[in-house]
């Protein structure tokens, strides 16, 4: 595994726009362009390393599904901060066999030691379009340009897997499904639009709306045109849905939600101590606990429900526990650095199959929503 300097495509911005990736450059708070996608470098892996990442992701996902089943069997919801009505919805979605669409695992991996799970973004993962489409065409373009890319491949069958997964989740095509997110966020809107596109390619009719445009007619959730929402993909965290005013209607509505409510358990960092307790010493897990004193060394404090590195703190050895709302302590596994950048691996699970990888890097040790996406290749 290494970071390799490569010349960017001469028309890379135009190429990204052609594929709908219009948030490749963001804007800083003071109005300056801030590149999110960079292609003057890439990460290069060996075949064996990709195999290792693939098998670790697959195994971790399987462990996670087992964990969800066990948590529900035991009714062990306290550590997840769930009330009874939320737990009921989760139980119902699990017992009905409602299927998940996608998820992204964040892994720490240096190419030498086994990959370690930092967290599982199983409910509202982003960086999907760049992983699935943008970096694939980067590889293809470079190959066509004869830039020495021949013989390289990419761990990436995300796009095809998504189309296939829609067919599995929704069944016979032809019906309607709604897609909602907070549309003022370019990244969320872009991710949702990409998923909607894969759903269209799977044969479904779609409608898009902002979360705030969802209505309730007294019995069912409705869209802008007052059509009942039978199926809804939402890029919006379950804990927010539960907490907001319409959350009270979730149990009584007939809407099929994607991701399904049981994904709320996996998106909660409380799953990390749960996994470690169940599989202590597993090579792809890090020690994790609700109790600071259970881990002697440097730890990372993670709020249970924050995203994009919000609230994450590194606590040196001997640090007292934080007086903070629900959070967990995870043994510190600092991200490997390449050319001074901290590299984070995101492996994609579509349905129940590991099938892709996206790299993000940051000057800081904690990956945030301002980190940069860098394409990858292997051979």
Partner 1 sequence: MANQSRRPKRLEGSVPPRSAEFGRRLEKQKRSDSIWLAVLGAAVATPLILMAGRDMQRNLYQTREDCVTDYSENECPREPVYHYGSNRLDDRAVRRYHGPWFEAGSTQRTSTDPGPGRLQEPSARGSFAPDRTSYRPPVSREYGVRGGFGRSGAVRAGRSSFGG
Query: In whole angstroms, what is the distance from residue 369 CA to residue 306 CA?
Result: 12
When the beta carbons of 333 and 367 are compared against partner 1, the nearer one is 367
Strand 341-350 relative to strand 337-338, pairing = antiparallel
In sequence order, the 6+-apart residues with CB closer than 8 A to the CB of 59 are 284
Query: What sections of the chain are H helices per DSSP?
Result: 12-18, 47-74, 84-95, 128-129, 135-144, 158-170, 186-201, 238-243, 263-267, 271-278
Give the shortest CB-227-to-partner 1 separation in angstroms. Answer: 6
The tokens for 360 are 């993000």
When the beta carbons of 147 and 224 are compared against partner 1, the nearer one is 224
User: Which 8-state DSSP code applies to residue 28?
Assistant: -
The tokens for 58 are 């697959």
First to last CA, the chain: 11
Give the shortest CB-353-to-partner 1 separation in angstroms. Answer: 12
Give the shortest CB-109-to-partner 1 separation in angstroms. Answer: 15
When the beta carbons of 47 and 96 are compared against partner 1, the nearer one is 47
Give the shortest CB-280-to-partner 1 separation in angstroms. Answer: 26
When the beta carbons of 29 and 323 are compared against partner 1, the nearer one is 29
Give the shortest CB-183-to-partner 1 separation in angstroms. Answer: 6
Interhelix angle 47-74/84-95, nearest 10 degrees: 120
Query: In whole angstroms, what is the distance from residue 140 CA to residue 149 CA?
Result: 8
When the beta carbons of 247 and 321 are compared against partner 1, the nearer one is 247
Give the shortest CB-296-to-partner 1 separation in angstroms. Answer: 29
3-state secondary structure of 110: coil
Taking only Cα atoms into account, the Rg of the chain, rounded to an integer number of angstroms, comes to: 21
Give the shortest CB-307-to-partner 1 separation in angstroms. Answer: 4
Query: In whole angstroms, what is the distance from residue 375 CA to residue 379 CA?
Result: 14
CB burial of residue 167 (10 Å; 0-12, 13-18, 19+): middle
Query: In whole angstroms, what is the distance from residue 97 CA to residue 240 CA?
Result: 23
Give the shortest CB-102-to-partner 1 separation in angstroms. Answer: 11
Give the shortest CB-368-to-partner 1 separation in angstroms. Answer: 10
When the beta carbons of 204 and 338 are compared against partner 1, the nearer one is 204
Query: In whole angstroms, what is the distance from residue 294 CA to residue 84 CA?
Result: 29
When the beta carbons of 47 and 314 are compared against partner 1, the nearer one is 47
When the beta carbons of 110 and 259 are compared against partner 1, the nearer one is 259
When the beta carbons of 12 and 137 are compared against partner 1, the nearer one is 137
When the beta carbons of 48 and 251 are compared against partner 1, the nearer one is 48
Give the shortest CB-93-to-partner 1 separation in angstroms. Answer: 18
Of residues 289, 159, 177, the one with CA closest to residue 232: 177
In sequence order, the 6+-apart residues with CB closer than 8 A to the CB of 281 are none
Query: In whole angstroms, what is the distance from residue 258 CA to residue 250 CA?
Result: 13
Taking each continuous run of H as one helix and of E as one strand, the counts in the chain are 10, 21
């Amino acid at each position: 595994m290494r970071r390799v300097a490569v010349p960017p495509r001469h028309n890379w911005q135009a190429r990204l726009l052609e594929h709908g990736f219009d948030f490749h450059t963001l804007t800083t708070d003071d109005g300056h362009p801030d590149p999110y996608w960079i292609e003057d470098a890439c990460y290069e892996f060996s075949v064996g390393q990709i195999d290792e990442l693939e098998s670790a992701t697959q195994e971790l996902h399987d462990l996670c599904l087992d964990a969800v089943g066990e948590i529900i069997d035991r009714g062990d919801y306290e550590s997840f901060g769930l009330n009874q009505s939320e737990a009921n919805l989760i139980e119902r979605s699990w017992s009905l066999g409602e299927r998940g669409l996608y998820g992204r695992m964040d892994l720490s991996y240096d190419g030498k030691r086994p990959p370690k799970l930092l967290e599982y973004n199983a409910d509202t993962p982003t960086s999907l379009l760049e992983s699935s489409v943008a970096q694939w065409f980067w590889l293809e373009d470079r190959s066509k340009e004869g830039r020495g890319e021949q013989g390289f491949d990419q761990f990436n069958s995300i796009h095809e897997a998504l189309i296939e997964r829609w067919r599995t989740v929704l069944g016979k095509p032809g019906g309607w499904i709604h897609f909602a997110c907070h549309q003022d966020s370019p990244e969320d809107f872009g991710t949702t639009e990409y998923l909607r596109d894969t759903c269209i390619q799977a044969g479904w009719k779609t409608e898009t709306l902002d979360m705030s445009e969802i209505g309730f007619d007294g019995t069912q959730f409705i869209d802008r045109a007052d059509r009942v929402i039978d199926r809804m993909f939402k890029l919006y965290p379950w804990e927010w849905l539960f907490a907001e005013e319409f959350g009270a209607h979730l149990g009584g509505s007939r809407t099929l939600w994607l991701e399904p409510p049981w994904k709320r358990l996996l998106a909660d960092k409380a799953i990390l101590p749960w996994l470690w307790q169940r599989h202590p010493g597993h090579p792809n897990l890090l020690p994790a606990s609700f109790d600071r004193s259970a881990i002697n060394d440097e730890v990372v404090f993670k709020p249970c429900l924050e995203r994009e590195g919000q609230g994450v703190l590194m606590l040196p050895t001997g640090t007292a526990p934080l007086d903070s709302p629900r959070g967990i302590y995870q043994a510190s596994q600092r991200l490997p650095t390449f050319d001074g950048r901290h590299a984070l691996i995101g492996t994609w699970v579509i349905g129940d199959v590991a099938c892709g990888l996206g790299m993000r890097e940051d000057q800081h040790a904690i990956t945030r929503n301002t980190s940069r996406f860098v394409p990858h290749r292997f051979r």
